[in-house]
Amino acid sequence: MKTNPNPVIITPRQLAVLQEIESFQVRHCYSPTMDELADTLNVSRPTVFEHIVALREKNLVEQSSGKARSLVLTQKAKRLLEQIESQTEQQQAEVLPMLGYVSAGYGIEAIENQQAFGLSEVFGSHGSLYVLQVRGSSMVNAGILDGDYIICKHARTAENGQLVIALLDEQNATVKRFFKDKRNVRLMPENDAFSPILSKDCQVQAIVVGLVRRL
Protein backbone atom coordinates (compact mmCIF):
# COMPACT_ATOMS: atom_id res chain seq x y z
CA MET A 1 0.00 0.00 0.00
CA LYS A 2 1.46 3.37 -1.01
CA THR A 3 1.80 6.10 1.57
CA ASN A 4 1.80 9.82 0.96
CA PRO A 5 5.37 11.08 1.38
CA ASN A 6 4.06 14.57 2.21
CA PRO A 7 0.93 14.10 4.35
CA VAL A 8 -1.21 17.14 5.08
CA ILE A 9 -1.08 18.09 8.76
CA ILE A 10 -4.41 19.64 9.66
CA THR A 11 -6.16 20.22 12.97
CA PRO A 12 -9.76 19.07 13.58
CA ARG A 13 -10.95 22.71 13.62
CA GLN A 14 -9.22 23.46 10.31
CA LEU A 15 -10.82 20.35 8.83
CA ALA A 16 -14.22 21.54 10.07
CA VAL A 17 -13.67 24.88 8.29
CA LEU A 18 -12.76 23.10 5.04
CA GLN A 19 -15.78 20.81 5.25
CA GLU A 20 -18.12 23.72 5.95
CA ILE A 21 -16.77 25.71 2.99
CA GLU A 22 -17.37 22.71 0.73
CA SER A 23 -20.84 22.05 2.18
CA PHE A 24 -21.85 25.71 1.90
CA GLN A 25 -20.73 25.88 -1.73
CA VAL A 26 -22.73 22.75 -2.56
CA ARG A 27 -25.86 24.16 -0.87
CA HIS A 28 -25.67 27.73 -2.22
CA CYS A 29 -23.39 27.58 -5.29
CA TYR A 30 -21.25 30.37 -3.85
CA SER A 31 -18.71 30.67 -1.06
CA PRO A 32 -19.46 31.56 2.58
CA THR A 33 -18.31 34.77 4.23
CA MET A 34 -16.17 34.80 7.37
CA ASP A 35 -19.25 35.76 9.40
CA GLU A 36 -21.30 32.88 8.00
CA LEU A 37 -18.50 30.41 8.79
CA ALA A 38 -18.22 31.81 12.31
CA ASP A 39 -21.98 31.49 12.90
CA THR A 40 -22.16 27.93 11.56
CA LEU A 41 -19.10 26.72 13.46
CA ASN A 42 -20.04 28.68 16.60
CA VAL A 43 -16.67 30.41 16.88
CA SER A 44 -15.54 34.02 16.65
CA ARG A 45 -14.73 35.75 13.37
CA PRO A 46 -11.06 36.25 14.38
CA THR A 47 -10.79 32.51 15.05
CA VAL A 48 -12.17 31.71 11.58
CA PHE A 49 -9.74 34.21 10.06
CA GLU A 50 -6.81 32.51 11.82
CA HIS A 51 -7.90 29.12 10.50
CA ILE A 52 -8.24 30.51 6.97
CA VAL A 53 -4.73 31.98 7.17
CA ALA A 54 -3.37 28.58 8.26
CA LEU A 55 -5.27 26.81 5.47
CA ARG A 56 -3.90 29.28 2.91
CA GLU A 57 -0.38 28.59 4.14
CA LYS A 58 -1.02 24.87 3.61
CA ASN A 59 -2.30 25.55 0.06
CA LEU A 60 -5.77 24.26 0.91
CA VAL A 61 -7.71 27.51 0.43
CA GLU A 62 -7.37 30.39 -2.01
CA GLN A 63 -8.79 33.83 -1.31
CA SER A 64 -9.02 37.05 -3.29
CA SER A 65 -8.50 40.20 -1.24
CA GLY A 66 -11.34 42.66 -1.00
CA LYS A 67 -14.12 40.18 -1.78
CA ALA A 68 -16.49 38.81 0.85
CA ARG A 69 -17.22 35.53 -0.97
CA SER A 70 -13.82 34.68 -2.38
CA LEU A 71 -12.93 31.48 -0.51
CA VAL A 72 -12.12 28.66 -2.92
CA LEU A 73 -10.92 25.16 -2.10
CA THR A 74 -7.78 24.16 -3.93
CA GLN A 75 -7.41 20.84 -5.73
CA LYS A 76 -5.21 19.73 -2.85
CA ALA A 77 -8.06 20.43 -0.41
CA LYS A 78 -10.59 18.60 -2.58
CA ARG A 79 -8.35 15.54 -2.74
CA LEU A 80 -7.91 15.65 1.03
CA LEU A 81 -11.67 15.83 1.67
CA GLU A 82 -12.31 12.98 -0.78
CA GLN A 83 -9.69 10.88 1.01
CA ILE A 84 -11.21 11.60 4.42
CA GLU A 85 -14.73 10.80 3.16
CA SER A 86 -13.49 7.52 1.69
CA GLN A 87 -11.76 6.60 4.95
CA THR A 88 -14.90 7.45 6.94
CA GLU A 89 -17.08 5.26 4.73
CA GLN A 90 -14.59 2.43 5.07
CA GLN A 91 -14.50 2.79 8.85
CA GLN A 92 -18.30 2.78 9.02
CA ALA A 93 -18.37 -0.44 7.01
CA GLU A 94 -15.71 -2.17 9.11
CA VAL A 95 -17.55 -3.66 12.07
CA LEU A 96 -16.69 -6.79 14.01
CA PRO A 97 -19.10 -9.42 15.34
CA MET A 98 -19.61 -9.17 19.10
CA LEU A 99 -20.49 -12.67 20.30
CA GLY A 100 -21.39 -11.99 23.91
CA TYR A 101 -19.59 -11.40 27.20
CA VAL A 102 -16.60 -12.83 29.06
CA SER A 103 -15.91 -12.71 32.79
CA ALA A 104 -12.80 -11.21 34.31
CA GLY A 105 -13.86 -12.63 37.68
CA TYR A 106 -15.10 -16.16 38.45
CA GLY A 107 -16.86 -16.85 35.19
CA ILE A 108 -20.32 -16.32 33.78
CA GLU A 109 -22.54 -18.51 31.65
CA ALA A 110 -21.41 -18.49 28.02
CA ILE A 111 -24.46 -17.27 26.13
CA GLU A 112 -24.01 -16.33 22.50
CA ASN A 113 -25.57 -12.99 21.70
CA GLN A 114 -24.17 -12.00 18.32
CA GLN A 115 -24.43 -8.38 17.24
CA ALA A 116 -22.38 -5.87 15.27
CA PHE A 117 -19.57 -4.05 17.02
CA GLY A 118 -18.31 -0.75 15.67
CA LEU A 119 -17.33 2.66 17.01
CA SER A 120 -20.77 4.16 16.44
CA GLU A 121 -22.47 1.26 18.28
CA VAL A 122 -20.36 1.92 21.38
CA PHE A 123 -19.57 5.64 21.32
CA GLY A 124 -22.42 7.24 19.36
CA SER A 125 -22.55 9.20 16.10
CA HIS A 126 -19.67 8.19 13.87
CA GLY A 127 -19.50 11.66 12.34
CA SER A 128 -18.42 13.18 15.66
CA LEU A 129 -15.67 10.61 16.31
CA TYR A 130 -12.08 10.41 15.22
CA VAL A 131 -8.92 8.58 16.30
CA LEU A 132 -5.50 9.88 17.34
CA GLN A 133 -2.37 7.88 18.05
CA VAL A 134 -0.60 8.83 21.27
CA ARG A 135 3.02 9.90 21.24
CA GLY A 136 4.59 10.21 24.69
CA SER A 137 4.11 8.95 28.22
CA SER A 138 2.51 11.82 30.15
CA MET A 139 -0.79 9.91 30.60
CA VAL A 140 0.43 6.45 31.63
CA ASN A 141 -1.29 6.57 35.04
CA ALA A 142 -4.59 7.04 33.22
CA GLY A 143 -3.87 3.83 31.29
CA ILE A 144 -2.92 5.67 28.09
CA LEU A 145 0.44 4.44 26.81
CA ASP A 146 2.77 5.58 24.05
CA GLY A 147 1.48 4.12 20.77
CA ASP A 148 -2.11 3.67 21.97
CA TYR A 149 -5.01 4.84 19.81
CA ILE A 150 -7.51 7.10 21.58
CA ILE A 151 -11.06 7.56 20.35
CA CYS A 152 -12.07 11.20 20.51
CA LYS A 153 -15.44 12.91 20.26
CA HIS A 154 -15.63 16.47 18.93
CA ALA A 155 -16.43 18.93 21.72
CA ARG A 156 -15.85 22.60 22.45
CA THR A 157 -16.27 22.39 26.23
CA ALA A 158 -15.43 19.87 28.94
CA GLU A 159 -16.21 19.15 32.57
CA ASN A 160 -13.52 19.23 35.23
CA GLY A 161 -11.71 15.91 35.38
CA GLN A 162 -12.48 14.81 31.82
CA LEU A 163 -9.74 13.66 29.48
CA VAL A 164 -9.55 16.09 26.58
CA ILE A 165 -7.65 16.97 23.44
CA ALA A 166 -6.63 20.59 23.96
CA LEU A 167 -5.11 22.93 21.39
CA LEU A 168 -2.43 25.31 22.65
CA ASP A 169 -1.29 28.35 20.68
CA GLU A 170 -3.58 27.32 17.80
CA GLN A 171 -1.15 24.60 16.73
CA ASN A 172 0.03 22.24 19.48
CA ALA A 173 -2.45 19.55 20.52
CA THR A 174 -2.09 17.55 23.72
CA VAL A 175 -4.12 14.96 25.63
CA LYS A 176 -4.51 15.85 29.30
CA ARG A 177 -7.03 15.86 32.14
CA PHE A 178 -9.00 19.11 32.09
CA PHE A 179 -9.63 21.45 35.02
CA LYS A 180 -10.88 25.03 34.86
CA ASP A 181 -11.17 27.71 37.53
CA LYS A 182 -11.82 31.45 37.41
CA ARG A 183 -8.25 32.26 36.36
CA ASN A 184 -6.85 29.46 34.24
CA VAL A 185 -7.36 26.18 32.51
CA ARG A 186 -5.14 23.55 34.08
CA LEU A 187 -4.16 20.59 31.92
CA MET A 188 -2.98 17.83 34.20
CA PRO A 189 -0.70 14.97 33.14
CA GLU A 190 -1.07 11.51 34.64
CA ASN A 191 2.64 11.00 35.22
CA ASP A 192 4.60 12.61 38.06
CA ALA A 193 7.54 13.21 35.71
CA PHE A 194 5.50 15.84 33.85
CA SER A 195 4.33 19.26 35.05
CA PRO A 196 0.80 20.66 34.70
CA ILE A 197 0.14 23.11 31.85
CA LEU A 198 -1.54 26.39 32.80
CA SER A 199 -3.25 28.30 30.01
CA LYS A 200 -5.70 31.15 29.57
CA ASP A 201 -6.49 30.52 25.93
CA CYS A 202 -6.35 26.79 25.23
CA GLN A 203 -9.17 25.39 23.13
CA VAL A 204 -10.91 22.10 23.85
CA GLN A 205 -11.01 20.10 20.63
CA ALA A 206 -12.47 16.81 21.83
CA ILE A 207 -13.22 14.57 24.78
CA VAL A 208 -11.46 11.21 24.95
CA VAL A 209 -14.12 8.49 25.06
CA GLY A 210 -12.18 5.31 24.38
CA LEU A 211 -8.88 3.59 23.79
CA VAL A 212 -7.59 0.87 21.47
CA ARG A 213 -4.33 -0.99 22.05
CA ARG A 214 -2.66 -3.72 20.06
CA LEU A 215 -1.51 -6.49 22.41
Catalytic residue numbers read 138, 176
Burial class of residue 212 in the structure, from the number of CB atoms within 10 Å of its CB (0-12 exposed, 13-18 middle, 19+ buried): exposed
35: left (phi over 0), alpha (psi -120 to 50) or beta: alpha
71-76: long-range pairs with CB below 8 Å, 24+? 71/21, 71/31, 71/32, 72/31, 73/18, 73/21, 73/22, 73/25, 76/8
